[in-house]
Amino acid sequence: MSDLWTYALDLYARPSVKEACLKLQDEVGADVCLLLLCCWAAEENLGEWPPEMTKELSAQSYEFQTNLLAPLRKMRTCLKNNPTYVFAREWANTLRENLLANELLIERELLGRYEATVSRFLDRNRQPEFSRDEKCRIVRGNFEASSPAVDFSKNDTAEEMMATLLKVAFPG
């Protein structure tokens, strides 16, 4: 068994994953940390989540995404794309790097909270192995249950990016 943070770093570093996750974040407002949690939990053969757990994870996601991560991302985007900062490019780049570092600290905390929530609700002892198709179904089901505002059905790009993520997370 791996811890969630290590798994998330490893998966995110694989080819196509970062791009797929960021597109899902931008296109449909997906919580990338929650997506990575869903993949990790499926890899750990933890199965479908109970409703109380999905509710708690959804609340954690909303709190962190709305109050902490979204404002930092908005500032980073503003510093990157705003012509006002052209003459202060070095300052803007330094500030963007610091914002990104803080974003990573927050994401690490969020992943830690997610993992603690999983540990409270689920038995992490060795479970029966799920097939690749079962893992993909479980990821989608758990993500959709804990992210009711995210709708893949109306966005072909998001559906394609989810398929890319699942293909890399569960090869074979």
Those residues whose C-beta lies under 8 Å from the C-beta of residue 170, and which sit 6 or more positions away, are 39, 42, 43, 132, 135, 136
Its pTM stands at 0.92
For residues 15 and 143, the answer to whether their CB atoms sit within 8 Å is no
Q: pLDDT averaged over the chain?
A: 92
- pLDDT given for residue 165 in this prediction: 97
Mean pLDDT of 92-106: 94
> Distance between CA 43 and CA 37 in Å, rounded?
10
Asked whether the predicted pLDDT for residue 113 surpasses 60, the reply is yes
pLDDT (tens digit per residue) in 136-147: 999 999 999 999
The two three-digit tokens of residue 36, written as one number: 């990575």
pLDDT (tens digit per residue) in 36-87: 999 999 999 999 999 999 999 999 999 999 999 999 999 998 888 777 776 7
Mean pLDDT of 148-153: 83
Using N-to-C axis directions, what is the helix angle for 32-43 and 156-169, rounded to 10°?
A: 40
47: left (phi over 0), alpha (psi -120 to 50) or beta: left
- pLDDT given for residue 19 in this prediction: 96
Mean pLDDT of 8-34: 95
- pLDDT given for residue 170 in this prediction: 97
Mean pLDDT of 97-123: 95
pLDDT: which is higher, 127 or 165: 165
| Of 84-93, 112-121, 137-146, the least confident | 84-93
